[in-house]
Amino acid sequence: MFKKAITSANNKLLAGLTALFSSNMFAAWDDLNMTEGVTAISKEVFDLHMLIFWICVVIGLVVFGIMFYSMFAFTKKKNPNPATFHENTKVELAWTVVPFLILVFMAIPASNTLTKIYDDTEGDINIQVVGYQWKWQYKYLEDDIDFFSNLTTDWDEIYNKTPKGEFYLEEVDEAVVIPVGKKIRFLITANDVIHSWWMPDFAIKQDAIPGFINTAWTIVDEPGIYRGKCTELCGKNHGFMPVVVKVVTQDEYDAWVQDKKDAAFRMAELTEKDWSAAELTERGEGVYLKNCVACHQVNGQGITGIFPNLAGSDIVLNNKAKNIEILMEGVQGAAMQSFANQLSEVDMASVITYTRQAWGNAENGDGEIVVPKDIVEYKKPKV
């Protein structure tokens, strides 16, 4: 009862202070401050941030005010005979107790907001978010939709060969799509090292930890495209795996879900078809550039001591079975992850075929290609 009264008074005070000091006063300074965001929680977080900020400003002005005054009024010239006091129990007690009370005043709304954020009941839509080196995977658990989200900014832009686009480093091939007004629950984990999924406009940040699942939830009020980042050092391309969430109306969302399901169906058809070496190689090059080039490099040479070369590699040249196994299982104790659930059978077969054909490998090795049916076969349980 008492707690509720304080909380309610606090919230009113918070609202009042916010109205007084809201970001609108400093709209021109928008790129200098945290975003207010587009959810009820993000706005609460913003208000909390501003409240603490202003309290610090006031304390700073008082303390530094006294200090600067002393620096001017009590120079040796102006005050050749310094005072001799060096303790005062009453004053010292006061400036221990008063700050403590200010902290309590801050802790109440902070604890309140945190408790709301931790309210972890079921969502209308549950999306598993998996961090990989260096991309995100999203799985919509109810609708069985599964896709990867890669940075689409060209490396030519990054290396200053072409001009940088508007959404430089903030654009992906497949954004997360969610409807407005529904409770979305994110189940966040990782496939390799620790990553972190941050959506500033939703005030969500949770670490993506291999072997564990962290949860976060949001209800977004306004449609739009929102951009976030990976916020835990995860290796070479930590700065190159952004997050993009598209918030749409319920109708648009339903249409998108249907689209995804249709695409999955079409992919199944592709797996059954007969592919030529040329078709596989062409498709495979695209897959390679998206998924493999970061480590194994465009020329297939890898980086000595860290990432093995594929051009001229014995396994790629002469050992089709082992080649498939490495892509499907990953390599224990090394950075090479399993790509089995990252690539469709078609893409898996294409990329392996590409590496077996490119860089002179076709001429120097057994030249065997891999077709999607080989991957389907591999996936069957072994007797």
Partner 1 sequence: MNEGSKKTIKTLCFAVLGMFTFSFALVPLYNVFCEVTGLNGKIELTKSHQR
Partner 2 sequence: MSAVIESHNHDDHHHGPAKGLTRWLYTTNHKDIGTLYLWFSFAMFLIGGAMAMVIRAELFQPGMQIVEPEFYNQMLTLHGLIMVFGAVMPAFVGLANWLVPMMVGAPDMALPRMNNLSFWILPFAFFVLLSSLFMEGGAPNFGWTFYAPLSTTYAPPSVTFFIFSVHIMGASSIMGSINVIVTIMNMRAPGMTLMKMPLFVWSWLITAYLLIAVMPVLAGAVTMMLMDIHFGTSFFNAAGGGDPVLFQHIFWFFGHPEVYIMILPAFGIASHIIETFSRKQLFGYASMVWAMASIAILSFVVWAHHMFTVGLPLAAELFFMWATMLIAVPTGVKVFNWVTTMFKGSITYETPMLFAIAFVVLFTIGGFSGLMLAITPADFQYHDTYFVVAHFHYVLVPGSIFSIMAAVYYWIPKWTGNMYDERLGKLHFWLSFIGVNVTFFPQHWIGLAGMPRRIPDYALQFADWNMISSVGAFLFGASQILFLFIVVKTVMGGKKATPEVWEGSRGLEWTVESPAPYHTFTTPPKVN
Site for partner 2 in 27-86 (CB under 8 A): 31-35, 44-45, 48-49, 52-53, 56, 59-60, 63-64, 66-67, 70-71, 74-76, 79-86
Among positions 169, 194, 213, 289, the unique one binding partner 1 when judged by CB under 8 A: 213
Cα separation, 211 vs 225, whole angstroms: 30
At 130 the three-state DSSP class reads strand
Residues 337-356 interacting with partner 2 (rule: CB under 8 A) = none
Distances (CA, A) of 57 to 45, 53, 94, 95: 18, 6, 20, 17
Angle, CA of 381, 189 and 302, to the nearest 5°:
75
User: Is residue 21 at the binding interface for partner 2, with CB under 8 A as the rule?
Assistant: no
Tokens 């993000």 belong to 42
Please, what is the minimum distance in Å from the beta carbon of residue 271 to partner 2?
A: 30
187 binds, among partner 1, partner 2, none (CB under 5 to 8 A by kind): partner 1
Place of tokens 């005010």: 65
Element (H, E) at 179: strand 176-179
Within residues 84-143, the interface with partner 1 by CB under 8 A covers: 120, 141
Residues 137 and 344: their CA atoms lie apart, in Å, by 13
Q: How far apart are CB 119 and partner 1 at their closest, in Å?
A: 13
DSSP annotation of 39 reads B
Which of residues 62 and 263 has its CB atom nearest to partner 2 in the complex?
Answer: 62
144 binds partner 1 (CB under 8 A): no
Q: Which of partner 1, partner 2, none interacts with 39 (beta carbon under 5 to 8 A by kind)? A: none
Q: Residue 44: which of partner 2, partner 1, none does it interact with, CB under 5 to 8 A by kind?
A: partner 2
Q: What is the DSSP letter of 41?
A: H
CB of 116 to partner 1, least distance (A): 16
What is the sign, positive or negative, of the torsion defined by CA atoms of 304, 310, 312, 315? positive
Q: Which of 212, 262, 279, 377 binds partner 2 (CB under 8 A)?
A: 212
Question: Distance from first CA to last CA of the chain, Å, rounded?
Answer: 66
Binding residues for partner 1, rule: CB under 8 A, are 120, 141, 187, 212-215
